[in-house]
Amino acid sequence: MPELFRFFGMRFFFFSNEHLPIYIHVKNADGTAKFEINPLKMIENNGIKSKDIHLAESIIEENAYNSIDDYPAAKIENTYYCCFFHTLF
């Protein structure tokens, strides 16, 4: 489970063997959430407070690429390894 980065006590990560569409998972002290990024929408929330969900959405929106075509992805043994955020480059 590659970590993208930590920001304001939230950990942003993805699972390298997860199916498409691509999801970003967020974890903080209160719980976890899962976001689809194209279009940006929360798929599930397990305990993260509303204000932190809005902050996570803003962070994802600001840093994620706009379309799946923009993702640097390599298909290795039927697994997609993707880098989502501009800050990683």
Residues 35-64 have pLDDT tens digits of 988 788 999 999 999 999 999 999 988 877
Q: According to the model, what pLDDT value does residue 37 have?
A: 80
- Alpha-carbon span 46 to 41, nearest angstrom: 15
| pLDDT > 80? residue 71 | no
What tokens appear for 59 in the block?
């962070």
**Shortest CA distance to 3 belongs to which of 19, 21, 27?**
27
Delimit the domains of the chain by residue range: 3-88
Q: 1 falls in which pLDDT band (50, 70, 90)? A: low
